[in-house]
Chain A
Amino acid sequence: MNRFSLPSLGIGLGLRTTHYSHILEHRPNVDWFEILSENYMQTKGRPLTFLDKIAEMYPIAMHGVSLSIGSTDPLDRQYLSELKELRDRTQARWVSDHLCWTGVAGKNTHDLLPLPYTEESLKHVAARVRTVQDILGAPLALENPSTYVEFAGSTMTEWEFLSELAREADCALLVDVNNIFVSSYNHGFDPMDYVRALPFDRIVQMHVAGHTNHGTHIVDTHIGPVLEPVWQLLGEVYRRASAPSVLLEWDADIPSFEETHREALRAREFISEEAA
């Protein structure tokens, strides 16, 4: 069990609109679903109606892309209030978002922008994570991002920053091993250096996904099946952690529900005792 006593939900799928009808009609045997929080905000209509029905049948966790925990704009209290309302409505087991910022000066790029890894950033983000956790009344799980630039002013590695942040803010972690792989390729580090430095008792969830290799760089597209090195990283982290919940993200050119689920269940090959 992780230090937050958050449950191990098993192997889940990112809930996507193209699968709504299949799920409601066939009630497939899936351990849990992760929802993209913002898809169910600023709406009172059909998305919420679908979600209500699915949340009645499956455990849900919420995953956001607009918390903007690293932004120097004030925290958006209205957003946090709606986030909490959605969490209560779905009985989500936890809420996660990314170690990033998405905008500043009131503008939202809807991208997961990287932070410089400095003491200033660390202090700033840790204080905001604590505030968010106070508002939610629950631990926030922060996900390591995939990044395409690094700042000359950074004074520590991402894994050092993430570990120190988790300790300072006492937050949970969502470890995306595809993001580790993508960033390791883009920045030229050994992904196992990242893995070995993680605070394993804080890992409550893991992500796997496909990506697109352009030769010069990899983009975290969430397209296609998970590549072998990413599966291997899943096993490396999973075996060191305390049975974190595992989730497949597939966001573009999404295949049938069955095919997506089959891909997610490949995780079993890498997290079982025999795989060790």
Chain B
Amino acid sequence: MTDRLPSPVLDPNRDVGTERASATPARKHAHLKVAGAAQKSAVVPQTLSALERWMLGAIADAPPVDSEIDAILTPGPRLSAKDRLAVYQFGYRARLVECLADDYPIVARTLGEGAFEELAAEYIERHPSTAPSLNAFGRHMESFCRESGSRALGANSEFFAELARLEWALVETIHAEGAPPFDFQKLAKVPVEAWATARLVPSKTVRVLRFEYPVNAFFQARREDKEPAIPAESPTELAIYRVGFRIWRMDLTPAMTRVLEALLAEQPIGDALATIAVDESDPAALGEAERSVMVWFREWVEGGFFAGVTLAE
């Protein structure tokens, strides 16, 4: 048993979060383009409902033909009706691309501005917002990376799917409901004979992630403004959690992951510890395991991984 407690890493850029709701997009999007007009005959909507549907289509889908725009919108002092409409067409995509870039800064930085905007534009078309808040708008990015076949991802769709999963877990952790701090001393007061059957109550502010790639190392390097190559497959595990206002990432070993996953699934503590699968005939290994587990427990409890403990009846 040689697992040591890895040092958790604070996510400084996630210290305060990002703006969501706002009247106007701030980010410049040189690569964003407004699609060309579809060839169709002009139809002037006669009701408010029809007009709104026309305008939504004009902004978010295919731009109408010029004659239709000129029949519905007036020109301004300096711009044609078509150019006035383009302000909204641009703003729609820019706002949502900005939101995705806020949620997926490392995906965006790794892909580069042009490729990320291409990916985001495809995402927006596949998953348009249907909610009043943008807080959950980006939630489909992992599956989108994996399944969309987007040209922007090249041959690395699986890697980017995992990177997106990590970044979305950070967002989820920010928005997860916190629990009052769980006192480690309370755990110490659990009678020895009750330990094996007691269960820990998981906090909503912790996530355990298993990856096929060393995603966290890549993420951290990018955070430090390094430019690592896309890594080869190599399974890794990670815990993401919030303590107070702060978000942390902690690399896990396979044994830690098994124990933690079992505890977060509210399995009895004894069953969770059994997943370590240490050679019980080796006293040295057993002793090392016990010491490691106590260190892990303290870190996890202090990290707010658990909201309480329940004893078996």
Asked whether A108 lies within 8 Å of B91 as measured between CB atoms, the reply is no
The docked-state distance in angstroms from the alpha carbon of A104 to that of B17 is: 29
Quick check: which of B152-160, B170-178, B290-298 contacts chain A, the rest being far away?
A: B170-178
B interface majority secondary structure? loop
The docked-state distance in angstroms from the alpha carbon of A106 to that of B60 is: 13
Asked whether A65 lies within 8 Å of B21 as measured between CB atoms, the reply is yes
0/1 interface trace, chain B 76-98, chain A, CB 8 Å (1 if under): 11110101110110011001100
Chain A residue nearest to B78 (CB atoms) is: A216
Partner of B129, one of A37, A101, A107, A216: A107
Asked whether B136 lies within 8 Å of A42 as measured between CB atoms, the reply is yes
0/1 interface trace, chain A 65-83, chain B, CB 8 Å (1 if under): 1100001100010010000
Q: Is there a chain A Cβ closer than 8 Å to B31's Cβ? A: no
Q: Is there a chain B Cβ closer than 8 Å to A177's Cβ? A: no
The docked-state distance in angstroms from the alpha carbon of A235 to that of B174 is: 41
0/1 interface trace, chain A 16-56, chain B, CB 8 Å (1 if under): 11101100000000000000111101111111011000000
Asked whether B26 lies within 8 Å of A45 as measured between CB atoms, the reply is no
How many residues of B are counted as interface, with CB atoms below 8 angstroms from the partner's CB atoms? 59
| Residues of chain B from 6 to 29 with CB closer than 8 A to chain A in the complex | 15-24, 26
B89 to chain A, nearest CB (A): 10
Asked whether A45 lies within 8 Å of B177 as measured between CB atoms, the reply is yes
- With a cutoff of 8 Å between Cβ atoms, the chain B residues found around residue A116 in the complex are 48, 51
The docked-state distance in angstroms from the alpha carbon of A223 to that of B92 is: 18
The docked-state distance in angstroms from the alpha carbon of A55 to that of B51 is: 40
Q: Is there a chain B Cβ closer than 8 Å to A170's Cβ? A: no
What interface size band does chain A fall in?
35 or more
Asked whether B48 lies within 8 Å of A217 as measured between CB atoms, the reply is no
- With a cutoff of 8 Å between Cβ atoms, the chain A residues found around residue B134 in the complex are 38, 110
Asked whether B16 lies within 8 Å of A20 as measured between CB atoms, the reply is yes
Q: Is there a chain A Cβ closer than 8 Å to B309's Cβ? A: no
A272 to chain B, nearest CB (A): 28
Asked whether A17 lies within 8 Å of B16 as measured between CB atoms, the reply is yes
Chain B residue nearest to A100 (CB atoms) is: B23
A44 in contact with B175 given A65-B21, A149-B85 (CB within 8 Å): yes
Asked whether B52 lies within 8 Å of A104 as measured between CB atoms, the reply is yes
The docked-state distance in angstroms from the alpha carbon of A186 to that of B83 is: 12
Q: Is there a chain A Cβ closer than 8 Å to B275's Cβ? A: no
A135 to chain B, nearest CB (A): 15
Asked whether B48 lies within 8 Å of A72 as measured between CB atoms, the reply is yes
Q: Is there a chain A Cβ closer than 8 Å to B41's Cβ? A: no
A-B contact pairs, 20 of them (CB 8 A): A37-B21, A42-B175, A43-B133, A44-B176, A46-B17, A46-B245, A65-B21, A66-B132, A101-B52, A108-B128, A110-B92, A146-B23, A149-B87, A152-B73, A187-B77, A216-B83, A217-B76, A217-B79, A221-B24, A251-B24
- Beyond A39-B21, A118-B48, A148-B88, 20 additional contacts (C-beta under 8 Å) are A17-B17, A38-B134, A41-B132, A46-B174, A49-B178, A64-B21, A66-B132, A76-B132, A103-B129, A104-B49, A104-B56, A106-B130, A108-B128, A109-B92, A111-B92, A113-B88, A148-B84, A151-B73, A221-B26, A222-B24
